[in-house]
């Protein structure tokens, strides 16, 4: 039972950062106006097949830290922390899914913890048959950064970025759009140097030169969270997916990115 068009088209993967859809400083607080606006933009763009993945922001991190989930299983008292962290993510996912349903999108919440096993925090096994069947039918799977059962550590934290990149490889995605809370990659840290410029396009070769230190002072600012994001994106980009980093906090950016309009953020391609 397939939607013939969807079964033949390459999917688009849209990742929405936790820092864009939640209030960073306040635990368990969604940015409902941002979530609703993004749901409208996704609905208006009418992209199909589409898989949406969101981060945890202030829903996932505080509980994961409180129970030291990143260290893995050390003590049975952490188990209820695993439960609470997952349930907090279910709550955030519910808000995202309901906002999308409100806009007429057949959103389908799918918690990675139910079908993924990690090893030292990296995906070891991921049952993707229900996801494939869902997009073939016209549903829009909504995944998220989640806790997982881990072969070495007992449990682990799986980032939405890792899931987005892995699914892009598995499903041969055409595009990965990363909606974050900055405009893209800069030539330097714009907070430290006001003359820093936004980079519109980068290739894998550019990135490799940067990491080998060839670029020196003209290196883009790929530190911290952004560095991790870029590293995750390399495998799907090498397989031909276009990655686009856009500021999801600026209205219409995600819509334009989904529509393929140029010049919104930083595009990273194979060549």
Whichever of 25 and 104 has its CB closer to its own copies, that residue is 104
CA 9 – CA 86 distance, rounded (Å): 32
Residue 149 interacts with its own copies (CB under 8 A): yes or no: yes
What 3-state DSSP class applies to 144? strand
Could you tell me which residues are beta bridge partners of residue 155? 149
**Angle, nearest 10°, between helix axes 204-211 and 224-238?**
140
In the list 15, 37, 61, 153, the residue contacting its own copies (rule: CB under 8 A) is: 153
- Shortest Cβ distance from residue 72 to its own copies (Å)? 7
Whichever of 115 and 211 has its CB closer to its own copies, that residue is 115
Kindly indicate which of the ranges 33-41, 122-130, 220-228, 256-264 contains the residues binding its own copies, using the contact rule CB under 8 A. Answer: 122-130
User: Is omega for the bond preceding 49 within 30 degrees of 0, making it cis?
Assistant: yes
Residue 67 interacts with its own copies (CB under 8 A): yes or no: no
In the list 27, 154, 228, 260, the residue contacting its own copies (rule: CB under 8 A) is: 154
CA 8 – CA 123 distance, rounded (Å): 26
Residue 155 interacts with its own copies (CB under 8 A): yes or no: yes
CB neighbours of 25 closer than 8 A, spacing ≥ 6? 58
Whichever of 44 and 127 has its CB closer to its own copies, that residue is 127
CA 259 – CA 44 distance, rounded (Å): 10
Alpha-carbon dihedral angle through residues 66, 71, 77, 83, given to the nearest 10 degrees: 70
- Shortest Cβ distance from residue 107 to its own copies (Å)? 5
Cα 194 → chain centroid: 28
Residue 148 interacts with its own copies (CB under 8 A): yes or no: yes
In the list 23, 27, 28, 130, the residue contacting its own copies (rule: CB under 8 A) is: 130
**Within 72-111, which residues bind its own copies (CB under 8 A)?**
72-73, 76, 79-80, 82-84, 86-87, 90-91, 94, 97-98, 101, 104-111
Instruction: Using DSSP bridges, classify how beta strands 242-247 and 12-16 pair: parallel, antiparallel or unpaired.
Output: unpaired
Backbone angles phi, psi at 258, to 5 degrees: -65, -35
Binding site for its own copies (CB under 8 A): 1, 72-73, 76, 79-80, 82-84, 86-87, 90-91, 94, 97-98, 101, 104-111, 113-117, 125, 127, 129-130, 133-134, 137-139, 148-155
């Amino acid at each position: 039972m397939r939607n013939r068009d969807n079964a033949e088209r390459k999917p688009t993967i849209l990742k929405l950062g936790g820092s864009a859809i939640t209030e960073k400083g306040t635990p368990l607080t969604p940015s409902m106006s941002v979530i609703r606006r993004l749901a409208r933009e996704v609905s208006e763009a009418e992209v199909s097949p589409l898989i949406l993945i969101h981060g945890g922001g202030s829903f996932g991190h505080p509980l994961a830290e409180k129970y030291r989930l990143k260290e893995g299983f050390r003590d049975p008292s952490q188990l209820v922390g695993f439960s609470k962290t997952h349930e907090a993510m279910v709550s955030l996912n519910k808000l995202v899914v309901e906002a999308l349903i409100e806009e007429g999108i057949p959103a389908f919440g799918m918690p990675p913890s139910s079908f993924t096993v990690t090893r030292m925090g990296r995906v070891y096994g991921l049952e993707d048959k229900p996801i494939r069947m869902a997009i073939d039918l016209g549903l829009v799977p909504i995944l998220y950064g989640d806790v997982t059962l881990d072969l070495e550590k007992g449990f682990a934290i799986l980032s939405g970025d890792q899931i987005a990149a892995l699914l892009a490889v598995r499903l041969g995605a055409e595009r990965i759009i990363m909606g974050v809370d900055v405009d893209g990659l800069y030539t330097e840290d714009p907070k430290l140097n006001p003359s820093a410029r936004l980079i519109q396009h980068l290739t894998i070769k550019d990135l490799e030169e940067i990491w080998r230190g060839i670029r020196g002072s003209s290196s883009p600012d790929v530190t911290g969270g952004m560095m991790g994001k870029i590293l995750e994106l390399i495998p799907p980009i090498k397989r031909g997916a276009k990655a686009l980093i856009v500021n999801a906090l600026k209205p219409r950016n995600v819509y334009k990115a989904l529509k393929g309009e140029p010049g919104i953020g930083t595009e990273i391609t194979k060549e």
